[in-house]
Amino acid sequence: MMRINARTLPLLATLGVFILLYALCAIQYPAMLSSRVIGNLLTDNAFLGVLAVGMTFVILSGGIDLSVGAVMGFTTIALAVMIEGAGLHPLTSFTIVLVGGALFGCGIGAAIHWLKAPPFIVTLTAMFLARGAALLLSTDSIPVRHEFYQTLSGLSLSLPGGGRLGLIALLMLLAFVAGGVLLHFTRAGLKVYALGGNARFAGLMGIDTARTTILVYGVSSTMAALAGIIFSLYTRSGYALTGVGVELDAIAAVVIGGTLLSGGVGGMAGSLIGVLIQGLILTWITFDGSLSSWWTKIAIGMLLFIFIGLQRLILQFSAPTGRTG
């Protein structure tokens, strides 16, 4: 049933690259096969994974969301202020930031649709707003010492071999599963693809493009808020300058995962692999010990370049040639 065509080829290529990379790492450092490393890979990149889930929706719809890093940063500092400053319970605070994130994203989507403004500009504006608001709350890094945080960080799933899958890794995997179901198995998900294929045609075919755009950016900002919660749990602190530039890592993960930047083609599974490839490169550099971690950026840059070239080639060769009659 799984056919190899223009749609599945990029995903297979990504999977191939991941397996190849992992094999190379494992040959050099057999310890990288341990479940401890795998557990850490998922935990350390949980926030990025959650951002990539939202970004997958946005890019598939033909848009871009530059605000997610700033929304994540705002969330961490807002949580710290609410929990430490105002004495709210973390669960109450989580609810507030998730709802707030959703509303913020819906606002972005509404502005993009009704002002007919390019997503790049609208989300750039949103990025400045969120980052500015975060710095307004506090310019300091505020530690979160609430005991509930201790409890949550203690929660984990033991993996065979001594590794642990922490709560935040589980949250990320859950986000991927939920996002995947929404995207691939519901009417709403098909509308996202339709919008990314051609917004005008989608409208002509009876798709409510306004609602779909709002949904897409609502999901993206909600995921950014969730990433903020995860990062807050991960670092047990809040800092307004958290996540500067991570929106670009998320976009890179989605594109490496086989989703076309022009929209309409791709999927959720690829984005997870895209995140893991980035994490893997970072882990390898950590194992090596002698390389600067900035080499990660160079490797990601090269990978992106290769994947974009690959996608262009695939598009060219998969275009219908001639008539079938």
> Tokens 């194992």 sit at which residue?
287
Least distance between other proteins and beta carbon 270 (Å): 15
Least distance between other proteins and beta carbon 177 (Å): 14
Least distance between other proteins and beta carbon 201 (Å): 4
Least distance between other proteins and beta carbon 322 (Å): 7
Contacts of 148 (CB under 8 A, 6+ apart): 89, 90, 91
> Tokens 């980052």 sit at which residue?
131
**254, 56 Cβ separation under 8 angstroms:** yes
**130, 244 Cβ separation under 8 angstroms:** no
Output 86 or 319, the one with its CB closest to other proteins. Answer: 319
Least distance between other proteins and beta carbon 30 (Å): 42
Q: How far is CA 194 from CA 60, 152, 209, 316, in A?
A: 9, 39, 9, 21
Output 146 or 191, the one with its CB closest to other proteins. Answer: 191
Whole-number Å distance between alpha carbons of 57 and 267: 9
Output 33 or 190, the one with its CB closest to other proteins. Answer: 190
Least distance between other proteins and beta carbon 247 (Å): 24
Output 71 or 194, the one with its CB closest to other proteins. Answer: 194
**Per-residue 3-state assignment (H helix, E strand, C coil) for 272-299:** HHHHHHHHHHHHHHHHHCCCCCCHHHHH
Least distance between other proteins and beta carbon 218 (Å): 19
Give the relative orientation of helices 295-318 and 268-288 as an angle to the nearest 10 degrees. 150
Alpha-helical segments (H) within 115-208:
119-137, 147-154, 167-185, 187-197, 199-204
**238, 77 Cβ separation under 8 angstroms:** yes
Enter the tokens of residue 311: 């996608």
Output 21 or 190, the one with its CB closest to other proteins. Answer: 190
Output 6 or 241, the one with its CB closest to other proteins. Answer: 6
Whole-number Å distance between alpha carbons of 247 and 223: 12
Output 212 or 237, the one with its CB closest to other proteins. Answer: 212
Q: How far is CA 216 from CA 28, 114, 144, in A?
A: 42, 15, 31
Output 118 or 161, the one with its CB closest to other proteins. Answer: 118
Least distance between other proteins and beta carbon 217 (Å): 20
The footprint of other proteins (CB under 8 A) covers 3, 5-7, 181, 185-187, 189-191, 193-194, 196-198, 200-202, 204-207, 264-265, 318-320, 322-325
**59, 37 Cβ separation under 8 angstroms:** no
Output 3 or 116, the one with its CB closest to other proteins. Answer: 3
Least distance between other proteins and beta carbon 181 (Å): 8
Whole-number Å distance between alpha carbons of 77 and 69: 13
